[in-house]
């Protein structure tokens, strides 16, 4: 399954690395690709293993806000 997350506060390479790493560490997430200019993260995942709330929490733990 694919989903695009709208993430506020990302502005640099460290932001990109932190968000992608947090998402990729979740069991069930196969890819996470940040677009800094758009403030979006494209995620490919297995919805039987990971939920939107799990992904939202992982990003928010890195200090960024996810728009519902």
CATH of the domain at 5: 3.30.70.100
Residue 7 domain flag: yes
Helix H or strand E segment including 22 = helix 13-24
Question: Is the pLDDT confidence value at 68 over 90?
Answer: no
Question: Is the pLDDT confidence value at 64 over 90?
Answer: yes
Residue 8 domain flag: yes
Residue 54 domain flag: no
Residue 18 domain flag: yes
Tell me the pLDDT tens digit for each residue of 7-63.
Answer: 999 999 999 999 999 999 999 999 999 999 999 999 999 999 999 999 999 999 999
Residue 9 domain flag: yes
Instruction: Catalogue the long-range contacts made by 44-47 (C-beta closer than 8 Å, 24 or more residues apart).
Output: 44/1, 44/2, 45/1, 45/2, 45/3, 46/1, 47/1
Residue 26 domain flag: yes
Predicted local confidence at residue 24, as pLDDT: 98
Residue 62 domain flag: no
Domain count across the chain: 1
């Amino acid at each position: 399954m694919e989903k695009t997350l709208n993430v506020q506060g990302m502005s640099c390479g460290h932001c990109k690395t932190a968000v992608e790493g947090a998402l990729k560490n979740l069991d069930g997430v196969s890819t996470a690709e940040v677009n800094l200019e758009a403030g979006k993260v494209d995620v490919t995942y297995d919805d039987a293993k990971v939920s939107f709330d799990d992904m939202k929490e992982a990003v928010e733990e890195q200090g960024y806000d996810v728009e519902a």
